[in-house]
Amino acid sequence: MQAFQLKLDSVRQHYLNGDISIGFRQLTDCVLDTRDLQFYKQLIAYTEWFESEEQSTFDVVSKAIHLIDLLVNFPIEEKVVDAPLLVAESLGKTYGRRKFQLKNVSLNIYPGDVWGLVGENGNGKTTLLRILANELSFDTGSLSVHLSDSSISDYEMRTRLVYIPQRTPKWYGSLKSNLKFTATHYGITGEENELIVLMMIIRFGLWNYRNHQWNELSSGYKMRFELARTFLRAPKILLLDEPLANLDVLAQQLILEDLKSLSQSISNPIGIILSSQQLFEVEKVSNKVLFLRNGEPTHLADANEQSNNETTVIECDVKATKEQLLEAFNQLPAFEISYNGGMYMLSISAPNQMSTVLRALATSQLEVTYVRDISQSTRRLFI
Amino acid sequence: MKFLRKFDTFLLENYPILWRSKVFYLLATGALLWVVFYLVGYAITDLNTLLTCSIDKRYEDTYAVLFHAILVLIILSFWALHFYKKNAIRHYYPLKRFYLLKLFFSILIGILPLVTIIVPFQAGVRAKARYLVDLETLQKEIHTINLALAFLPTNTENYSIHNKTFPKPFPVSDMLKFLSDSTWTESLLYIKDSTGDTTRYIPANHPENTVVIDNKQYQFLHSKTINPEDECYGEYYELITHFYHPDTSLKLHAYGLLNYSNVEYSDAAIPNRDSYSIQYDSRNITKFNQLYAPKIHRWVHQKQQDSIQYIVHEFQEILNKYSINNVLNPQLIAAIHAHYDYHGNYLSFVNTGIRDKNDYEFDFSVNNENIISYLESEDRENPFAYNQYSLDYLIRNSKMAYHHEEKEELNLAFVVIAISLSLLFFLFDVTPFIQFLIAIPAMGVLMIALGLISALIDYNHNDYYFDHLYKEEAYIFLLFSITFICLIVFSWITIKYTYFNKKLSGVLLNMGCFVAPVLPFLVLLTIVEFSRHVEYNPCGGMHKVYNVQLRETLMDPYLLVSVSLLGALCYFPLIRKYYARKE
């Protein structure tokens, strides 16, 4: 079975399970994968129908299933992922008489990759993103971007490498008119313009806000708008600087899921690099996480590769003194415990000790509010 | 509204430049304003307008220019609010071929009708003038007016007799006369004496040139104006070439030389600003002598009171028709002409008559009842009085209304204003905002520096520093040209190489944008100034001699506007390069 059919099955299952929201988003992705205006029209009509008034779940599901049935036999050309989109070798940049240096950053971004860029403030995340976006020059190393056209001007390159800064500029006019303006510049004209813009509006949950102005939208919806605008540009590489800042937890999850899903589009997979302080959320959707400290990559976590950590690092929030904890964990292999003022960090010199720790905490009957195994997470690097 | 929304969406989806520049809305607003200003021009023009002011200045006189400026300011502000809301280049959207060029021209096309509102306004004024005055009728009336004016002196001391002699005895193209005593003893004419020296000519000292007609002395002469470049004099002066002695058998009369018709109107629809008056137009002299002079001669010579009274009455009818103020008394005028010599000083008669009849300058052994009753009446009014200025305005305005000539310089000036405005709006849109603001004072500093250096060049221009050709202007233009070229080249270098700060590059980009349209103009000016040389006259005076053909070719206003526009357009590709440049 092809990837598209598998994806449709997943959508069908979501609908049948009553997970209409996730089902609808994935259905939209499937329709977008078709790049067929007739299907766009059907999805838009479907959205218009169920957004217009309260509909019964049965009707919503049955109409969605009907659309899925129509999509099943649609031929989708799957994009073969083989060559990297962007290759950076030992990039370096020095600011203001060596006050800050970005050093030795190497990375390869393939279609479908989501890279998380983490690190404390002022460690070069934004600098790296701007270098990758061709916005900032670099002093050492090399950077090559492999797009479909072999020779394009610097300006055209900038049109393909989409960089969304942390503070997005204010825009004027209605949300929809701005999206249409973007689409037109990317050669999407006439009826197609209207349909694709509406599809993006639907995809990013902006249907009820399509005629709103900038100052009528919350931060979350502003970011959704930026993403909608960005995806209208059909980018090959998307560079996002702190896209989760100022978003609530739910909005963060939604946007990360959307990014993940869109990066792995069947017909048009893209490479994404995003910087964020929301470590766990980012790690959840990223294939690779790059940790920068003092401008230098100190850790590269690859979700595809098997971890061979010999140490278990556990973060926990317990209402207990350090002595009480030491007593509770006295059965554990060699370990260290530290307190950063809010959390205890437990470092055990053996792999996969989470269950042992949980048992020890349960036995000790200490009041535990939070426990997390951060052995694989870059969170442990912030200690 | 629904149609407008659909149209707007259509433009947004298909023609983003047109949608963004709102060129159709600007054109529609411009068209509306054209109609409104045409109607305003039409509505505010009445007969009184034609009698009291020049219609080609109505735009300034009526403050329409002020309303225009305010309206354009409001419209463009409103437009700019919409225009600057969206921007493709700042978001790094793909720009199609000639995108910036198209954007600039769509702004220009939108702004042009707004700037040229004077055109429909003046058209409205002229249309109303045509409605109020029928040219064919006026042309017929001009014949009556010209005949009547011979009997309506306005100022005896200020008349001109150029070629208006009857019978026609002279080859009189540049004949002068001496009538008053002051002229007779203090003329401003010069003559070469036997030694070849130029001396002032005093007519009283040369009775051999004097001709007596009707007991008054005249000298008829030809002269030419001497250009100071030919001689060592600082001013133009009149040099007598030879005198003319008319044949006494011609029986010349003073009235033949000195008719009082010092204002005459051409019935010809010559589209020339000055053609309403023929007194300085030699083309009409023949016509005057053929058409009017015989009649005037006959009426005066034969003392035909009825004819004089009739023609003055007809003239009065015309004045009344156009509501031109007058207190003409045709009967009295005819009586005066019949009783006194035609060349008599009528104004003096009127004035002294009003004071006291015993002070009459002339022999007033009057037996005409009309004259006596006039002189004896207590509330006398000048029987010759009419509002000459109103008549002048009426005829001049009518001719302008019917034979309007487009003023190319004015139209070009509006095009230049529209281009400048468009360029300003365009640059504000496509160049970085902060750097745009910084570039303004930076440009000011540069201009002050260049101004100071120019002053230094001008102050120090002498043989030591430069040459004998006094080319300080050429050097100043060269200085400006080279500076501007350097500025543009440096701007290009900072865009090309990331070694320089991008903000500096942005400021230079803006400064380059400011000077790019001026540079071609300066270069042409420099070429013209360098192509000229200096010539010295025998008296040591110096004047500049230009290569006329080159100057006329290079300083052609259309060429200057075109090359300036081209200069600006050639600079546009740098804007895209600037945005693509890394920091």
- ipTM, two decimals, is 0.77
* DSSP H/E element including A241: strand A237-241
Ranked by mean pLDDT, the top range of A136-140, A267-271, B108-112, B186-190 is B108-112
Q: Which two structure tokens, joined as six digits, stand for A179? A: 């999206």
B63-92 average pLDDT score: 87
**pLDDT at residue B356 in the model:** 43
B301, pLDDT greater than 60: yes
Q: Within this chain, do residues B392 and B278 fall inside the same structural domain, yes or no?
A: no
**B interface with A, Cβ–Cβ below 8 Å:** 9, 12-14, 16, 19-20, 85-86, 88, 91-95, 498, 576-577, 579-583
Residues in chain B within 8 Å Cβ distance of A182: 91, 93
Q: Within this chain, do residues B486 and B521 fall inside the same structural domain, yes or no?
A: yes
Q: Within this chain, do residues B233 and B274 fall inside the same structural domain, yes or no?
A: no
Query: B158 - beta bridge partners?
Result: none
Residue of B84, B87, B74 lying closest to B33 (CA atoms): B74
> B297-302, long-range: CB within 8 Å, 24+ apart, which pairs?
B297/B166, B297/B167, B297/B255, B297/B256, B299/B337, B300/B255, B300/B337, B300/B342, B301/B253
- B98 contact partners, CB below 8 Å, separation of at least 6: none
Q: pLDDT band for B73, please (50, 70, 90 cuts).
A: very high
Residue A128, judged by CB atoms within 10 A of its CB (0-12, 13-18, 19+), counts as buried
A126, pLDDT greater than 70: yes
DSSP class of B265: B
For B315, the domain range is: 146-157+268-321+327-385
End-to-end distance of chain B based on CA atoms, in angstroms? 46
Would residue B255 count as lying in a domain?
no
Residues in chain A within 8 Å Cβ distance of B13: 180, 184, 189-190, 193-194
B36, pLDDT greater than 90: yes
Q: Do B94 and A156 touch (CB under 8 A)?
A: yes
B216, pLDDT greater than 80: no
Would residue B141 count as lying in a domain?
no
B281, pLDDT greater than 70: no
Nearest to B582 among A134, A171, A173 (CB): A134
Residue of A342, A327, A350 lying closest to A383 (CA atoms): A342
Nearest to A135 among B14, B576, B583 (CB): B583
A300, pLDDT greater than 70: no
Residues in chain B within 8 Å Cβ distance of A190: 13-14
Q: What is the pLDDT of residues B321-363, one digit of tens each?
A: 999 988 888 888 888 777 665 444 444 444 444 334 444 444 4
Q: Within this chain, do residues B515 and B570 fall inside the same structural domain, yes or no?
A: yes
As a whole number of angstroms, the distance between CA B336 and CA B329 comes to 11
**pLDDT at residue B341 in the model:** 56
Nearest to B92 among A159, A172, A184 (CB): A159
Q: Which domains does chain A have, with CATH numbers?
A: 3-72 (no CATH), 86-302 (3.40.50.300), 312-382 (3.30.70.980)
Nearest to A158 among B20, B88, B580 (CB): B580
Residues in chain A within 8 Å Cβ distance of B577: 154-155
Nearest to B16 among A157, A173, A184 (CB): A184
To the nearest whole Å, the CA of B500 is away from the closest chain A CA by: 11
Nearest to B12 among A136, A137, A180 (CB): A180
Up-side HSE of residue B304: CA atoms within 13 Å toward CB?
13
**pLDDT at residue B257 in the model:** 56
**pLDDT at residue B271 in the model:** 36
Nearest to B583 among A136, A171, A194 (CB): A136
Residue A300 phi, psi dihedral angles, 5° rounding: -130, 115
As a whole number of angstroms, the distance between CA B182 and CA B111 comes to 60
Q: pLDDT band for B160, please (50, 70, 90 cuts).
A: very low
Q: Within this chain, do residues B5 and B18 fall inside the same structural domain, yes or no?
A: yes
Q: What is the pLDDT of residues B82-96, one digit of tens each?
A: 888 888 887 788 888
Lowest-confidence segment of A137-141, A148-152, A343-347 by average pLDDT = A148-152
In A183-212, the residues whose Cβ lies within 8 Å of chain B are 184-187, 189-190, 193-194
B249, pLDDT greater than 90: no
B130, pLDDT greater than 90: yes
The answer, for A101 touching chain B at a CB cutoff of 8 Å, is: no
Would residue B413 count as lying in a domain?
no
B159-186 average pLDDT score: 51
A202-207 average pLDDT score: 87
Q: What is the pLDDT of residues B378-431, one digit of tens each?
A: 676 777 788 888 888 888 888 888 887 777 788 888 888 999 899 889 888 888
**pLDDT at residue B111 in the model:** 92
**pLDDT at residue B177 in the model:** 53
**Got the DSSP string for B134-193?**
-HHHHHHHHHHHHHHHTT--S-GGG---TT--SS--S--TT-B---SHHHHHS--EEEE-
> CA A174, A177, A179 angle in degrees (round to 5)?
110
B364, pLDDT greater than 50: no
**pLDDT at residue A381 in the model:** 65
To the nearest whole Å, the CA of A334 is away from the closest chain B CA by: 51
Q: Do A182 and B91 touch (CB under 8 A)?
A: yes
How many CB pairs below 8 A link A and B? 69
To the nearest whole Å, the CA of B18 is away from the closest chain A CA by: 12
Q: Within this chain, do residues B375 and B393 fall inside the same structural domain, yes or no?
A: no
Q: Do B16 and A194 touch (CB under 8 A)?
A: no
Q: Within this chain, do residues B239 and B286 fall inside the same structural domain, yes or no?
A: no
Q: Within this chain, do residues B575 and B484 fall inside the same structural domain, yes or no?
A: yes
**pLDDT at residue A49 in the model:** 87
Q: Do A185 and B93 touch (CB under 8 A)?
A: yes
Residue to substitute from B10, B582, B583, interface A, most A β-carbons within 10 A = B582
Up-side HSE of residue A306: CA atoms within 13 Å toward CB?
3
Q: Which two structure tokens, joined as six digits, stand for A337? A: 């415990």
CA distances from B246 to B212, B218, B294 (A): 10, 11, 20
Nearest to A194 among B13, B19, B92 (CB): B13
Number of structural domains (chain B) is: 4
To the nearest whole Å, the CA of B501 is away from the closest chain A CA by: 11
CA distances from A308 to A128, A332, A350 (A): 28, 20, 11
Q: Within this chain, do residues B178 and B304 fall inside the same structural domain, yes or no?
A: no
Would residue B3 count as lying in a domain?
yes
Q: pLDDT band for B38, please (50, 70, 90 cuts).
A: very high
**Got the DSSP string for B567-582?**
HHHHHHHHHHHHHHS-
- B74 contact partners, CB below 8 Å, separation of at least 6: none
Q: Within this chain, do residues B349 and B291 fall inside the same structural domain, yes or no?
A: yes
CA distances from B438 to B145, B433, B443, B582 (A): 65, 9, 9, 21
Nearest to B580 among A130, A137, A154 (CB): A154
Would residue B140 count as lying in a domain?
no
Q: Within this chain, do residues B311 and B204 fall inside the same structural domain, yes or no?
A: no
The better pLDDT of the pair B43, A382 is held by B43
B231, pLDDT greater than 70: no
In A161-180, the residues whose Cβ lies within 8 Å of chain B are 171-173, 177-178, 180
Boundary residue ending a domain (B398, B419, B445) = B398
Q: Within this chain, do residues B463 and B510 fall inside the same structural domain, yes or no?
A: yes
Would residue B257 count as lying in a domain?
no
To the nearest whole Å, the CA of B580 is away from the closest chain A CA by: 4
Q: Do A187 and B94 touch (CB under 8 A)?
A: yes
In A330-369, the residues whose Cβ lies within 8 Å of chain B are none
The better pLDDT of the pair A360, B379 is held by A360
B286, pLDDT greater than 50: yes
Q: What is the pLDDT of residues B463-508, one digit of tens each?
A: 544 455 567 788 888 889 999 999 988 888 888 887 788 888 888 8
Residues in chain B within 8 Å Cβ distance of A158: 92, 579-580
Would residue B481 count as lying in a domain?
yes
A79, pLDDT greater than 90: no
**pLDDT at residue A378 in the model:** 67
Bridge-based pairing state of the strands B220-226 and B216-218: unpaired
A97-114 average pLDDT score: 81
To the nearest whole Å, the CA of B485 is away from the closest chain A CA by: 25
The better pLDDT of the pair B460, B426 is held by B426
User: Which residue do the tokens 């009967």 mark?
Assistant: B331
Residue of B294, B308, B372 lying closest to B337 (CA atoms): B308
Q: What is the pLDDT of residues A6-26, one digit of tens each?
A: 888 888 888 888 888 888 888
Residues in chain B within 8 Å Cβ distance of A233: 93
Q: What percent of chain B has pLDDT over 90?
A: 16
To the nearest whole Å, the CA of B14 is away from the closest chain A CA by: 5
The answer, for A136 touching chain B at a CB cutoff of 8 Å, is: yes
Minimum CA–CA partner of A183 in chain B: B13
Minimum CA–CA partner of A197 in chain B: B13
